[in-house]
């Protein structure tokens, strides 16, 4: 399988200048090709292929105004045209929206190098148009004997430089197990498991909220276009980067544990985009990053031979008794415990996690995409070892 390994590196002044120039040329070529393709379709209903834009790039390099495109490596420029072609293919296949122009301030600064545009020797990476290898901080080793097929260099808003190497790797499956767990996402507790365990929400953004607000107030007072405003913008970006890094690290450790300990993991299909419209909860929901949690779980489970089951988002998991199947009518968010007519007292989140697990097992038994009935939920909850 193809696997990307991302590392931070510290370029020299010459390397930083060369990469910055390459980023600008990549963005320019992408925007010009997008403009040409959009104009050709709107004016003539004519589709322009990748080979057409590649021929246009050759002509752009020969023009007097764009002669500077020849000063950087041609491979990242060609890769930007391939990326644009892929973006249009995804749009026509209804997998993505229409491609947008890249912004100098808001878009990701990146350049992609294929095998012909870099040299890999004795664990040292040298890019085209550079005489010295990159000073990479090797936080973890690459697979033994691996050779990068593609290298992507990027710079984030905080000014940090990263290099991502795509290599062939083999990931061993975990030993099969019979354990299964239901996961209920929340705000107070980030996740609640069907075993009764609750994992608290670290709320990384809330811990930095005071510093972030102060930095944003100072940034707003700076004159637009000044160096001081640019410096304060980088300071805000560093705060956001630290928050994102801590959140990602926590989610990686959490999902790795779930995949290692369980053969089957059942989660809800949450409408996170719709939930973010709630002004009272939008900030804490965004900080919880439920979408990233699901994404990490799904690809790690696929790597390790585990199964992730996603149940219907309309399943009333909090309102159904995990023992008898009785369903209550209305339950507000401030109700954290409730008693069923059968006599059981339920913790709202633990009960929801048990119902999610039962629904996932019912879906696995009935077939993918089948929404289980309350009778099926009760039957799966009563079967060992998932007795509530």
From 168, 189, 210, give the residue that closes a domain. 168
Whether residue 160 is found in the same domain as residue 262: no
**The pLDDT value given to residue 373:** 52
Does residue 224 sit within a domain?
A: no
Whether residue 61 is found in the same domain as residue 195: no
Which residues make Cβ contacts (< 8 Å) with residue 332, sequence separation at least 6? none
Tens-digit pLDDT profile for residues 117-168? 999 998 899 999 999 999 999 999 998 888 999 999 999 999 999 999 999 9
Sign of the CA dihedral running 374, 375, 380, 382: positive
Does residue 49 sit within a domain?
A: yes
Sign of the CA dihedral running 324, 328, 332, 338: negative
**The pLDDT value given to residue 388:** 39
Integer angstrom CA distances of residue 254 from 10, 184, 201, 300, 354: 30, 14, 12, 11, 19
Tens-digit pLDDT profile for residues 166-191? 999 988 999 999 999 999 999 889 99
**The pLDDT value given to residue 64:** 92
Tokens of 360: 């996932």
Residue 126: its H or E element: strand 124-127
Does residue 174 sit within a domain?
A: no
Whether residue 131 is found in the same domain as residue 194: no
Whether residue 159 is found in the same domain as residue 279: no
Instruction: Please indicate whether residue 64 is annotated as part of the active site.
Output: no
The torsion of the CA quartet 31, 234, 127, 125, rounded to 10 degrees, works out to -140
Whether residue 187 is found in the same domain as residue 129: no
**pTM for this model (two decimals):** 0.85
Helices (H), 134-221: 204-207, 209-221
**The pLDDT value given to residue 125:** 96
Whether residue 141 is found in the same domain as residue 268: no
Q: Spot the catalytic one: 18, 184, 287, 376.
A: 184
Does residue 173 sit within a domain?
A: no
CB 300 within 8 A of CB 332: no
Which domain does 285 fall in, by range? Answer: 180-200+255-382
Instruction: Please indicate whether residue 287 is annotated as part of the active site.
Output: no
Does residue 273 sit within a domain?
A: yes
Q: Spot the catalytic one: 18, 112, 287, 349.
A: 349
Does residue 97 sit within a domain?
A: yes
Whether residue 285 is found in the same domain as residue 317: yes
Q: Spot the catalytic one: 18, 112, 205, 268.
A: 268
Does residue 210 sit within a domain?
A: no
Does residue 103 sit within a domain?
A: yes
Whether residue 13 is found in the same domain as residue 159: yes
The torsion of the CA quartet 266, 272, 273, 279, rounded to 10 degrees, works out to 170
Nearest to 164 by CA among 22, 303, 3: 3
Identify the DSSP state of 331. -
Which residues make Cβ contacts (< 8 Å) with residue 147, sequence separation at least 6? 120, 167, 168
Whether residue 109 is found in the same domain as residue 195: no
Tokens 């879906």: give the residue.
Answer: 363
Nearest to 322 by CA among 365, 385, 262, 386: 386
Whether residue 130 is found in the same domain as residue 185: no
Domain count, the chain: 2
Whether residue 310 is found in the same domain as residue 368: yes
Q: Give bridge partners of residue 109 from the DSSP assignment.
A: 155
Sites in the chain below the pLDDT cut of 70: 367-388
282: three-class secondary structure by DSSP: helix
Whether residue 339 is found in the same domain as residue 262: yes
Instruction: Please indicate whether residue 184 is annotated as part of the active site.
Output: yes
């Amino acid at each position: 399988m193809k696997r990307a390994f991302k590392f931070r590196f510290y370029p020299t002044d010459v390397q930083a200048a060369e990469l910055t120039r390459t980023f600008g040329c990549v963005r320019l070529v992408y925007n010009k090709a997008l403009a040409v393709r959009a104009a050709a379709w709107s004016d003539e209903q004519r589709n322009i292929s990748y080979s057409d834009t590649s021929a246009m790039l050759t002509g752009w390099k020969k023009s007097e105004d764009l002669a500077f495109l020849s000063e950087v490596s041609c491979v990242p420029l060609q890769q930007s045209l391939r990326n644009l072609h892929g973006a249009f293919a995804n749009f026509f296949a209804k997998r993505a929206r229409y491609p947008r122009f890249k912004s100098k301030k808001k878009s990701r600064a990146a350049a992609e190098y294929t095998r012909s545009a870099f040299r890999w020797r004795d664990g040292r990476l040298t890019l085209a148009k550079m005489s010295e290898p990159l000073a990479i901080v090797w936080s973890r080793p690459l697979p033994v004997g691996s050779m990068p097929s593609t290298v992507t260099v990027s710079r984030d808003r905080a000014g940090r430089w990263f290099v991502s190497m795509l290599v062939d790797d083999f990931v061993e499956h975990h030993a099969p197990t019979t354990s299964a767990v239901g996961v209920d996402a929340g705000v107070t507790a980030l996740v609640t498991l069907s075993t009764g365990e609750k994992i608290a929400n670290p709320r990384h953004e809330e811990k930095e909220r005071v510093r972030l607000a102060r930095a944003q107030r100072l940034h707003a007072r700076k004159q637009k276009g000044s160096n001081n405003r640019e410096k304060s913008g980088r300071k805000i970006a560093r705060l956001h980067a630290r928050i994102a890094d801590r959140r990602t690290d926590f989610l990686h450790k959490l999902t790795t544990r779930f995949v290692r300990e369980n053969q089957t993991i059942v989660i809800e299909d949450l409408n996170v985009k719709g939930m973010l419209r709630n002004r009272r909860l939008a900030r804490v929901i965004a900080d919880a990053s439920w979408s990233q949690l699901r994404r990490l779980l799904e690809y790690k489970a696929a790597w390790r031979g585990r199964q992730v089951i996603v149940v219907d988002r309309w399943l009333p998991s909090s309102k159904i008794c995990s023992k008898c199947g009785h369903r209550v009518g209305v339950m507000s968010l401030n109700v954290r415990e409730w008693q069923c007519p059968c006599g059981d007292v339920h913790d709202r989140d633990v009960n929801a996690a048990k119902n999610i697990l039962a629904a996932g097992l019912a879906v696995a038994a009935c077939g993918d995409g089948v929404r289980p009935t309350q009778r099926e939920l009760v039957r799966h909850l009563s079967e060992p070892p998932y007795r509530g």
